[in-house]
Structure 1
Amino acid sequence: MKKLIIFLGIALTIGVILAPLKLIAWSEHPLLAYPVLSSIPDLTKRNPVEVQSLKAFLIKEEKGLAEFLMRYEEWAKTNLPNYAPLPQGLEFKHTGNQSDIVYRFLTALRLNPNIKLRLYLHLLPNQDINGKTVIPPSELTTLTDVSSLSHTNYVVINEGELVAPLQVLCTANDEPDYGFDLGLFEDNGTSHGKTYGFGVQPFGDPKLEYGSQAPFHMGFYHEAKLVYAFGPFLRKTYPEYRISLFKALAEYAFATGNDYWGWRFMGWGMHYLGDLSMPYHTAPLPGMSAARMIWINLKAIIGFPKSKNDAVQLVSNKHSVLEQYQWIAMREAYSNYDTNPLIEALRAETPITPYSNDFARTVVSQISVDRSRKVDKALKEFCPPLLVKDPSFEASKSKELDNLMDQINNYSGANGIEQLNALLTEMLRTYSMSLRSYYNAIVSKA
């Protein structure tokens, strides 16, 4: 009975707290990716590549991709811890049927088959439209709420047009947040979720439009054994699957002369890898010990749920604050791009850990977890208590979050901004290192 109570304590705490969290790690990934990637001379010197639709790529490579994805599946089953094998019948096969080829490919990759995958570019704050046709965000994502994309210009590119690899990479860095991983679990109410083999959604709120993507963008690899023992669902996270799959696809595309898709697949993989440099995507409850989790749940079990409910709200609020702070700081950084310290941190050539099969797990997420308590403490010290210490307040989409910088400046002054920027700089260096390592690993085989 004692072990059962402990099990319930840990499992309910983590499950409930993870459910309402915002599930985007870094807002608007191209803002971060461009300074990193534009400082790689090998990339900026590359010739433009010819734009190619996904359907054209698949028609050209159907036979080769069928064999390639079969080999990848065998590799994944051997090399990815806690991998959910591809169910029989979802394999991408060489059928010669062009009418359903995109659908067959997306379902073989176990992506949301409704994603839109337009040919377009994501423009940065300092880039002009230059007469190109603007695409509404609603034509790029499966989400109905496109408010987070409303500050960005997206422009059409056409098949056969020549574009710089850097532009393709930066644009692709944001795409996995446009619906790639929505509805993939059997309890998500989608036909594809019932066939993909991922089981029921392990955490996150399946009722929220964006909630089902959580296990693909979060990786909890460094919890105490006790936490895993009583919360085994924490192991059911899949960013390593996405990172390795898109790395392999990028290498295949380059090897077969389909460079546009080499860069686009690479950008998709970078997105998931970059997510793991965000502490709230690698530590389920930053700042809270396993003992604390058990204690607040024991109180909830005997009829005193306030501590647990408060913890839920506070973790969600701090996640929202950090994400919003990053987005505002990076948008502002583009107004003084050449001298901004955040841009400099992303552009700096820091030591790079060579990429390996367990790089996401043992390098990036480990650094992120090690930093998580420090990040949690800084948010509580330098941000207004209403935003990070008041469990009666919902920070997400509040007016206080909209003018977050003013809120922090009024509370902790220039020192607070300076300290938070210094901490953000540390996180961005890890982000930069991870993208560079991934890039080097892929282009070394091209």
Structure 2
Amino acid sequence: MVLLLAGLATMQAMAWENHSLASYRAFENMPEVASAPSVTVEPLEAFLRAEEYTLEALLASQEAWGLTSIEKYPARPAELAFKADPGRSDESRRLAFLRALRVAPDSRFALYTQSDPWNPTSGTRLPSAAVSTQTEATGSGYRYGALKSGELVAALTVLATATGEPDLGLDIHLFEDSPSDWGRVYGFGPQPYGNPAVAQDSHIPFHSGFMHESRLVKLGIPTVRRNLILLRFHQFSTLAALAFRTGHAYWGWRFAGLSLHYLQDLTQPLRAALVPGEPNTKLLSAQALALVGLPGMKDELVQLRSNRCLVVEKYQSELLLRAAANKQETALEKALRNTDKDRGYTDWSERYMRDVVSLQSSRAALALAQTLTAALPAAFAADAGFDLAARETGSNLLSELIKRDSPERNRLDAALAETMANFGTHSRNALRGILRASDPL
């Protein structure tokens, strides 16, 4: 029973479309980052060559963790295990590493920076294709700069840049029904939700986590119980700790940023709740009707929810970009930097993403959906015939929304500020956990 969920996943492909914009603000005043020395840029191949044997052990331990810690975990095929082989080529070693992680083997892992729009840097610009296998979203604000091996770069730049990297193609077409050679050998099984033929749909199972849906929904749509987002965080966070411990600071910060991307996705309430604002009985009824050839209710749910999700993501991104362009700090920047709540949560542990981040977001999802619906033009919230994603007027519509001065728009801004505060707080708490794990054993 995945039909309805397949459609509903599609509309979430844009969530938090440029993590780096928010990450610069979340970490720029964090002492552990701000006072960290600049690091020496190192190609991935050099790190892998130097740490082959420690990586073999770590990647084996990651697989053991997945088998015991993730519900419905799809075991990695034995032939994909990373085995140290100092005699092989750098290219072969890199491919073995990517296959052991079960990420797309054409992932770039380029040496690059994502520019901070508040402090843009000069230097050689890179085209999107140099760092990503995916077509860049219109208005995303991505600006890429080239790095060279041996160059010094600020830890903040490496960390913030890497928080955007998983959206550049790492999790594309990884399932057995995907149109890729690697999906058929990775062992993840059929794609649990989303359209396998659509690239951006195919990464959603790694970037969402419906961990707190009702028992009824979990019974009716059991695929929501698979939480591969937890796997990705664990993989990259433990790689970060290893890199720090073994003297590869550049990859320590970069793997840390990669891992934080997945946690940050869960701070978006619409990533943690399947259909906020709609009763479970309606969701399951739409599912049942679609299965017998009556998809009307499902299509309406998908379209309305798609519009709401897309506009809130673009609205948030545009607010951050406008603030940077005008050098005018807003409530979002202040919320991202605010550390007042950092110590108000339980100490970091491997349960933090599930028991703190995901739970908080799922509880906030209904209120956010209602606030968003009240603030939007009627077509966005109630017209199933209006497809925002298919129109090129999205940016203009958002500009109009920004100009509106109403209680509803003010409540939406306050809700986004609260969400950005959670983004910053949980990102810093997770980084503190990674840094503690990096201490020499």
Q: State if a TM-score over 0.5 links the two structures.
A: yes
**Is the CA contact (8 Å cut-off) linking 1:400 and 1:407 kept in structure 2?**
no
Q: Percent identity?
A: 32
Would you say 1:370 and 2:349 are equivalent positions?
Answer: no
Q: 2:3 aligns with which of 12, 22, 26?
A: 12
Question: Does the C-alpha gap of structure 1 residues 102 and 308 become closer, same or farther in structure 2, counting only changes over 3 Å?
Answer: same
Partner of 1:441: 433
Question: Does the C-alpha gap of structure 1 residues 319 and 150 become closer, same or farther in structure 2, counting only changes over 3 Å?
Answer: closer
Q: Which residue type is aligned with residue 159 of structure 2?
A: L
SS in 2 for 1:121: strand
Partner of 1:348: 338
Q: 1:384 aligns with which of 377, 392, 403?
A: 377
Q: Per-residue displacement from partner, 1:241-276 (whole Å, max 9, x unpaired)?
A: 011111110000011001100000000001010000
Question: Does the C-alpha gap of structure 1 residues 269 and 192 become closer, same or farther in structure 2, counting only changes over 3 Å?
Answer: same
Question: Does the C-alpha gap of structure 1 residues 399 and 42 become closer, same or farther in structure 2, counting only changes over 3 Å?
Answer: same
Partner of 1:183: 173
Partner of 1:126: 118
Cα separation, 1, equivalents of 2:291 and 2:132: 41
**Is the CA contact (8 Å cut-off) linking 1:27 and 1:326 kept in structure 2?**
no
**Is the CA contact (8 Å cut-off) linking 2:179 and 2:196 kept in structure 1?**
no
Partner of 1:136: 127
Would you say 1:327 and 2:317 are equivalent positions?
Answer: yes
Q: Per-residue displacement from partner, 1:23-59 (whole Å, max 9, x unpaired)?
A: 1320211111011110102211111111100000001
Cα separation, 2, equivalents of 1:438 and 1:409: 32
Q: Which residue type is aligned with residue 306 of structure 1?
A: G
**Is the CA contact (8 Å cut-off) linking 1:274 and 1:431 kept in structure 2?**
yes
Question: Does the C-alpha gap of structure 1 residues 265 and 148 become closer, same or farther in structure 2, counting only changes over 3 Å?
Answer: farther
Would you say 1:47 and 2:37 are equivalent positions?
Answer: yes
Q: Which residue type is aligned with residue 378 of structure 1?
A: T
Q: Which residue type is aligned with residue 394 of structure 1?
A: D
- Say which is worse superposed, 111-120 or 306-315, in terms of deviation: 306-315
Q: How does 1:94-173 map to 2 (within 5 A)?
A: 94-96=84-86, 97-99=88-90, 100-130=92-122, 132-143=123-134, 145-148=135-138, 151-173=141-163
Cα separation, 1, equivalents of 2:167 and 2:383: 29
Q: Per-residue displacement from partner, 1:411-433 (whole Å, max 9, x unpaired)?
A: x5343332211000111111111
Unaligned runs of 5+ in 1: 1-7
Cα separation, 1, equivalents of 2:288 and 2:82: 48
Question: Does the C-alpha gap of structure 1 residues 308 and 106 become closer, same or farther in structure 2, counting only changes over 3 Å?
Answer: same
Q: How does 1:9-408 map to 2 (within 5 A)?
A: 11-18=2-9, 20-96=10-86, 97-99=88-90, 100-130=92-122, 132-143=123-134, 145-148=135-138, 151-297=141-287, 305-335=295-325, 337=327, 339-352=329-342, 353=345, 354-408=347-401
* Pairwise CA RMSD: 1.9
Q: Per-residue displacement from partner, 1:295-314 (whole Å, max 9, x unpaired)?
A: 44555567754332211111
Partner of 1:4: none
**Is the CA contact (8 Å cut-off) linking 1:326 and 1:424 kept in structure 2?**
yes
Cα separation, 2, equivalents of 1:115 and 1:149: 23
Cα separation, 1, equivalents of 2:291 and 2:114: 49
Cα separation, 2, equivalents of 1:50 and 1:406: 41
**Is the CA contact (8 Å cut-off) linking 1:204 and 1:211 kept in structure 2?**
yes
Q: Which residue type is aligned with residue 29 of structure 2?
A: S
**Is the CA contact (8 Å cut-off) linking 1:278 and 1:427 kept in structure 2?**
yes
SS in 2 for 1:180: coil
SS in 2 for 1:155: strand
Cα separation, 2, equivalents of 1:350 and 1:85: 40
Cα separation, 1, equivalents of 2:407 and 2:402: 8
- Say which is worse superposed, 22-31 or 368-377, in terms of deviation: 22-31
Q: Which residue type is aligned with residue 139 of structure 1?
A: A
Give the aligned length: 433
Cα separation, 2, equivalents of 1:339 and 1:55: 40
TM-score, with structure 2 as normaliser: 0.94
Q: Per-residue displacement from partner, 1:200-236 (whole Å, max 9, x unpaired)?
A: 0010111212211010001010111111112111112
Unaligned runs of 5+ in 2: none
TM-score, with structure 1 as normaliser: 0.93
- Say which is worse superposed, 201-210 or 67-76, in terms of deviation: 67-76
